[in-house]
Every structure is written in C-alpha cells, then in structure tokens.
Structure 1
Amino acid sequence: MKLGMPALIEYDYFARNVELCRKLSLDFIELNMNLPYCDLNKITAFVQNNGEMMDGIGITIHLPEEIDIASFHKTIRSGFLKFIKETIDISRELRASVLNLHAHPGIYFTLPGGKAWVNEKNDGEFIKIFSDSLAELNGYAKNSVCKICFENIGINKYALDCFQEIKKYDSLYYTWDIGHDASSGYQVSDFMMNNISRVAHMHLHDFDGKKDHNPLYSGNVDINKYIGLASSAPRDMSVVIEVKTEDSLKESVNKIRALGVF
C-alpha cells in the first residue's frame, strides 16, 4: 500500500505540496486538474527541472470533475474522451500510476415528490453510451501503465449499473471513495468487496453523519478497517488521505502514525 495526499487548494504552487509530502513522509501527490497550478504541462516541466526534489514522490491524477463520458451530446463526449487520452499520454512522462475520474450518477430534476434522474429515466440509452466510451478507453489504456480508475460519488441505480458495466473491461479499474460510500449508506461496499482485485485506488476521509472529507478518526468511519483492506488487497493499492487542508492532512497523518496502523 502507498499513502498519499491531494494537491491542496490553499496552495498556489505545486512545490508547496511536494514540500509537505516529503515532510509527512508520504508516497505520492494526487494532482487535481481543477486547480490551475496542476496543469499537466506545468507539472511536467516542474518534474523535469526538479528531479532531486521529486525523488521518491509519485504522482496520481484526478481528472476534472465535470468530465462525463456518458454525455448524450456526441461533441461534448468526444471532447472528454480526447482529453482523457491526451492526459494518458502525458501521464507516461510523469510516470503517474492512476488516472482517477468520477462515475457520474447524472443530472436530476427536483420534483414535488423528490428527484427525477435523467439517466435513470433513459437508462438503456445512457448505459450504451457509457459502455461505448468504456470500450474506447479500455483499448487506449492497454498500452499504458497508468490505471484508469472510476470513483464512486453520488449513488443511484444508474451509477450502480455503470459499475457493473466497468467489470467487462479488463484494463479499467475502480477507485473506492470511502467517505462518499459512508455518506450514501455504504451502497457500494458489497460491490467493491466482491471486486476487490479491480480496486486499484482509494480515497480515504471521514464522515460525521453530515459531511465528508473530514480528518481521519474524527467521524464514524472505521478507518483502521479500510487501511487494513488496502494493505492486504491483492494488488498494490494507492490510498489518498482526501482531506482538503494542510491542518487536516497533518492531523490525519499524525493520528495514523500514533496508532501504528501504517
């Protein structure tokens, strides 16, 4: 198991993340491509020019959150797929091990009786689009050491169907986001446990019953359980402590070390 940190929004430069990663003796940094300083051309130049500073620090990549490979607008979908492929190409230069993207549950309309999900109403159409996009990415990923991992965010029937569809493609993997899972009542836990050999990446953060992305051991998630799962998984799993501030990250790492669980 490798333990890492996310790029932080409170920083303006990638170098500050590298300094904190080394100070906390973590293994890697997950770039967030929604942050301007995580532009991959800038990061590639930084890595090439700061080899000694980056020595021993790996990289994973979190794709922009707006990407939806099941968009029924062909032009938008094609643009997203092209962007993902370009990112895979750049990831080779960075030696990135994971390319993380959200498995979107889709768009909903708020009605008097609750939410009406567009993707669920048109499930067959969207699943076919999603599957066609998966096939295209699966073919491209076969030539890459960077694993494409789909992350659970909001969960509905359509999202669960999408996770089942991913199983059909042997070069695609899962990111198990523990905080998201907790906030949705652990709706993907059984699926992830039954497919643990395909879980290559984990986002670990706590949930207090109201909000997630809290420091580890501050909520009701059994953190030790999931660290144990990641440590004993059949493949070498990377685990991001996905809290959002420097203080929360330090608190989480210090607690893990004090408890001796990693």
Structure 2
Amino acid sequence: MEISVSTGLYYTKGYKEILDIIASTSCRNIELFLNQAFIDIDVLELQNEVSKRNLNVLSIHTPLEFIAFPRRESEQYWINKSIEISKILGSKLIISHMVLGEYFDERISSLDDLHKENMINYCSIEDIHITSENLPKFNGGSFLGRVDELFEFVTENNIDLTFDTTHCAFSGYPILETFMKFKSHVKNIHISDFDNGNEHKVLGEGNLPLKDFITHLKKEMYDGIMTIELDLDNKKRNNITSTKQAIAAIQKSIDYIENNIR
C-alpha cells in the first residue's frame, strides 16, 4: 500500500503553496487534483515544481464539473488530457466522475450514461487505471451514490474504482462492508473521516471506524493507493486557519494510517 495526499486540500490557495504544505509533511506522494489551483498550470512547469519538492505524482483527479463544464470541456476531454499528463509525470491512475451539474452540450441527456460510456471505453488502457468513484447518495442523484447499481456496473464491465470512505458514510453505508463488496475492483482509496454530515475530516476527528478499516486493509494485503483527501477550506469540516495547522492536520492523518498498518 502506498500512502498519498491529495492536492485538493485547498481550492483557494496557489498551487505552489499547496505543494509546499504537502512537502512539509513526511509523505512524498501526491494525488494531483486538477482544481482551480492546478488546472491551467503548464505540465512541464508542474513537473519541475513537483520534482523540486521531491514529490511523486501517483494519481490524477480530473476537474469537477463546476470547473470543467463552464469551460466547455467534457469528461472525455479531461480523461484524454489526464492520460497525457500521466505520461509526463509518471502517474498510473486517473479518477473521473463528471456526473453532476449542467452540461454544455444539450445533446447529452444523461451524464450518468455518458460517464458509463467513458469508463467502458477507457477501462482497457494499458499501464494506467482509469477509475470511477463512489459518490454521496442523494435522491435523484447519480448512480455512483447507489451501491447496488454501482456494483452491478463495475462488475459487469470490469471497471476500476476509487473507493471514498466519507462519501460512503454520507450515504449511510458501512465503510468496511461496502469496501469488501467492491474489493477486487478498488485501486485507490480516498480516506477521510466523517461526523454529523461533515465530510473529508482529518483522520481520527470523526466517528468512522477507520482504525478497524485500515487494520483490515493490512490483513487483506491491499496493495493499491491510499489517498488522504481532506477539505481544509471549509471551516465547518476542519477548523484549519493557518499553514502550520494544515501541515499538522495532514501529518496527523499520515501518522494515523502508519500507526495502524505496522
């Protein structure tokens, strides 16, 4: 298992500051989340800045819909672009789930159907895993929030999955049992804590049984990526008000994992 930290910690800071914060922890691996801070950075410039900080890009998360769709950029566009970025940065996994929001092409009647089509079309690419991700469950929301429907899709089409603990908890599903259901398809885990409706909390600061979850992953010899995905912008989720606190919060989450896999 390789531990990684998502650059999606912040949407409001510059990309160099986000990389500096992660580089100040003991983790050397990152998931490149292409939010506002990273979406328009030249990939060679990004490669240089990542290398300068002795970091490695293990995975790439495509932009969310509210960023990409106003730019008239589709999920297919960003999967292709992420593949090209992966070739330069050496990452082996991509996460994509553009299934929400108002699409710029009115010919597309269902973003769920388009996402399914994209996942099927890209699932056999060599040397890189294109993964979907379970999302929070909402009435009338995406199939990615409905466990049984998502399970049927990934098993019938041999789709790789990024399993998100806090999305699973938000939907009311037990994280360990749900992970075990999808285990053979999971290549990446987005791990964060959850409490009272608040997602993406620092590990150990919510009410999820993360200790048991991590211990079970070790027992199951899970050999994928475990990506710490926190939200340090939203003060309701994590009351982080300084760079020093941000570094400490990330390090606390890293230590939480490492202390439970020894």
Structure 1 residues 85 and 235: CA distance shift in structure 2, 3 A = farther
Equivalent of 1:134 in 119, 124, 134: 119
- The separation in 1 between residues aligned to 2:92 and 2:3, in whole angstroms, is 13
Percent identity, aligned pairs only? 20
Q: Distance in 2 between matches of 1:45 and 1:5?
A: 20
- The equivalences for 1:171-250 within 5 A come to 172-186=159-173, 190-245=177-232, 247-248=245-246, 250=248
The DSSP-based 3-state class of the residue aligned with 1:212 is: strand
CA distance in 1, matches of 2:24, 2:189: 22
| Residue pair 1:206, 1:218 contacting (<8 A) in 2 also | yes
Amino acid paired to 1:165: F
One of 152, 158, 168 as aligned partner of 2:143: 158
How far has the Cα of 1:192 moved from its partner? 3.1
Q: Higher Cα Rg: structure 1 or 2?
A: 1
8 Å CA contact retained: 1:177, 1:203: yes
Q: Report the secondary structure of 1:102's partner residue.
A: coil
Q: What SS is found at the alignment partner of 1:30?
A: strand
- Normalising by structure 2, we get a TM-score of 0.72
Number of equivalent positions: 231
Query: How far did residue 48 of structure 1 move?
Result: 4.4
Superposed, which structure 2 residues align to 1:70-149 within 5 Å?
79-102=74-97, 104=99, 129-139=114-124, 142-143=125-126, 145-149=127-131
Does the Cα contact within 8 Å between 1:215 and 1:249 map onto a contact in 2?
A: no
**Shift of residue 151 of structure 1?**
1.1
> Cα gap change, 1:22/1:232 in structure 2, threshold over 3 Å: closer, same or farther?
farther
**Where do 5+ consecutive residues of structure 2 fail to align?**
103-108, 233-242
Q: Residue 113 of structure 1 aligns with which residue?
A: none
Which blocks of at least 5 consecutive residues in structure 1 are unaligned? 109-121
Deviation at 1:203, TM superposition (A): 0.9
* Alignment partner, residue 4 of structure 1: 4
How far apart are 1:244 and its partner, in Å? 2.1
Distance 2:250 2:46 in 1: 28
Q: Shift of the alpha carbon at 1:187?
A: 6.5
